[in-house]
């Protein structure tokens, strides 16, 4: 069995030049480009940390787990740890950037755990009011990050990050890949159950895709699990399970040379034909066509009609890169 975490895709550690002992950096995309070559951004890589980009100017193409996003002013992009990333920013792309480790945010309700989920949307297009609202919070974060006196700086930044994430959750919670509005739970019960379900799913999606098995493992009814998934993700339990299996299939097809039959078996399919039908239903193309597309494209588009973008060379090393924040405080 091929473990995705062990694939030879460079992993970028969190290694800021400014405030190296801190778990957060508030900077700009332009500043990042002073430390990271553009050709390295275009190479497949993974981050050990979270990266939030709010585009304020220009355009660029980003690929997360082989799905292409065309970013422009008002785009909010959330790159989560271990997602396979490629980026082709145009020369005029500018934006605000937040990078933080998984350990940095304060403990919060299950809502943050729901938002920090690789199956949730990674890209939103904000209107001017929403962009301005997040921009105001970013300005406070930048001011605090550059403050020389750091006695309470870490705590303040933790709470400002929480405010930013919860505002992003509030703004984007109705945006889902199928357009279905999310229905927020009246209490935290469904959120906590959903987070437990996602943890169980990460360990079991290769061996079972049956809703009943997950309900039994969580000691709840299938109806309760269904209500949690609808309240949090706006979809069925089965759809969440299948989305995780499809994500792993995309990763293995794009980044390994495993035969399609081996990919199918690794994901619990006894027949290649059943895997092919499943993949077509989820990804809208055959496994072979998807694998061929990842050889020449940055990935299939996500709700865009523009033509494919060619990849830059993918042989660059992207390990141990350091980055700094603009006007780094003393």
Here the CATH number for the domain that contains residue 287 is 1.10.10.60
CA distance 98 to 234: 28
Which stretches within the chain are classed as H helix?
Answer: 29-33, 38-42, 110-115, 128-145, 153-172, 189-204, 211-218, 222-233, 237-255, 260-266, 272-283, 287-296
What is the number of structural domains in the chain?
2
Residue 17 counted as domain residue: yes
The whole-number pLDDT of residue 297 equals: 43
> For helices 128-145 and 153-172, what crossing angle results, to 10°?
170
Residue 242 CA, distance from chain mean position: 17
pLDDT in tens, 65-76: 888 899 999 999
> For helices 237-255 and 211-218, what crossing angle results, to 10°?
110
The whole-number pLDDT of residue 34 equals: 86
The whole-number pLDDT of residue 272 equals: 96
Here the CATH number for the domain that contains residue 147 is 2.60.120.280
Residue 145 counted as domain residue: yes
Residue 286 counted as domain residue: yes
> 45 and 133, same structural domain?
yes
Question: Can you tell me whether residue 137 is helix, strand or coil?
Answer: helix
Residue 89: which H helix or E strand, with range? strand 84-89
Residue 203 counted as domain residue: yes
Per-residue pLDDT in tens (0 to 9) along the chain, 330 residues: 666 666 678 888 888 767 767 889 999 999 988 888 888 898 889 999 999 999 999 999 999 988 889 999 999 999 998 899 999 999 999 999 999 988 887 665 555 555 667 777 789 899 899 999 999 999 999 999 988 776 676 888 989 998 998 888 777 665 444 444 555 545 567 888 998 999 999 999 999 999 999 999 999 999 999 999 988 877 899 999 999 999 999 999 988 889 999 999 999 999 999 999 999 999 999 999 999 887 544 555 564 333 333 322 222 333 334 444 444 554
Domain boundary among 114, 139, 172: 172
The whole-number pLDDT of residue 40 equals: 85
Domain boundary among 140, 172, 204: 172
CA distance 97 to 207: 38
Residue 38 counted as domain residue: yes
Q: Token digits for 327?
A: 């006007």
Q: What number of other Cβ atoms are within 10 A of residue 230's Cβ?
A: 18
Angle CA 286–253–80, to nearest 5: 115
The whole-number pLDDT of residue 197 equals: 95
The domain in which residue 96 lies consists of: 9-172
> 196 and 138, same structural domain?
no
> 235 and 129, same structural domain?
no
Instruction: Residue 173: name the closest of 185, 162, 158 by CA.
Output: 185
> 149 and 21, same structural domain?
yes
Q: Token digits for 145?
A: 């990050």
Length of the chain: 330
Q: Token digits for 146?
A: 């550059």
> 130 and 210, same structural domain?
no
């Amino acid at each position: 069995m091929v473990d995705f975490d062990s694939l030879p895709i460079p992993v970028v550690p969190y290694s800021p030049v400014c405030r190296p002992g801190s778990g957060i950096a508030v900077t700009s995309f332009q500043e990042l480009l002073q430390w990271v070559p553009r050709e390295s951004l275009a190479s497949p890589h993974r981050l050990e940390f979270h990266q939030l980009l709010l585009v304020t100017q220009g355009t660029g193409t980003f690929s997360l787990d082989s799905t292409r996003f065309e970013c422009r002013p008002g785009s909010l992009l959330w790159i989560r740890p271990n997602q396979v990333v490629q980026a082709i920013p145009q020369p005029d792309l500018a934006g605000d950037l937040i990078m933080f480790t998984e350990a940095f945010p304060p403990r919060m309700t299950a809502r943050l755990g729901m938002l920090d989920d690789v199956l949730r949307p990674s890209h939103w297009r904000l209107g001017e009011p929403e962009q301005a609202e997040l921009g105001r919070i970013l300005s406070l974060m930048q001011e605090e990050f550059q403050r020389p006196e750091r006695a309470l700086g870490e705590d303040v930044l933790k709470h400002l990050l929480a405010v930013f994430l919860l505002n992003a959750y509030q703004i984007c919670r109705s945006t889902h890949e199928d357009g279905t509005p999310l229905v927020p739970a009246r209490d935290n019960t469904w959120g906590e159950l959903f987070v437990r379900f996602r943890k169980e799913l990460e360990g079991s999606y290769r061996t079972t895709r049956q809703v009943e098995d997950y309900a039994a493992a969580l000691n709840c009814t299938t109806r309760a699990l269904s209500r949690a998934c609808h309240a949090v993700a706006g979809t069925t339990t089965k759809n969440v399970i299948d989305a995780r299996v499809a994500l792993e299939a995309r990763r293995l097809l794009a980044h390994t040379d495993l035969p399609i039959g081996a990919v199918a078996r690794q994901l619990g399919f006894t027949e290649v034909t059943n895997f092919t039908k499943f993949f077509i239903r989820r990804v809208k193309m055959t496994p072979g066509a998807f694998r061929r597309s990842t050889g020449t494209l940055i990935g299939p588009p996500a709700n865009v009609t523009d033509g494919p973008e060619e990849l830059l060379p993918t042989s660059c090393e992207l390990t141990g890169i350091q980055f700094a924040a603009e006007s780094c405080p003393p």
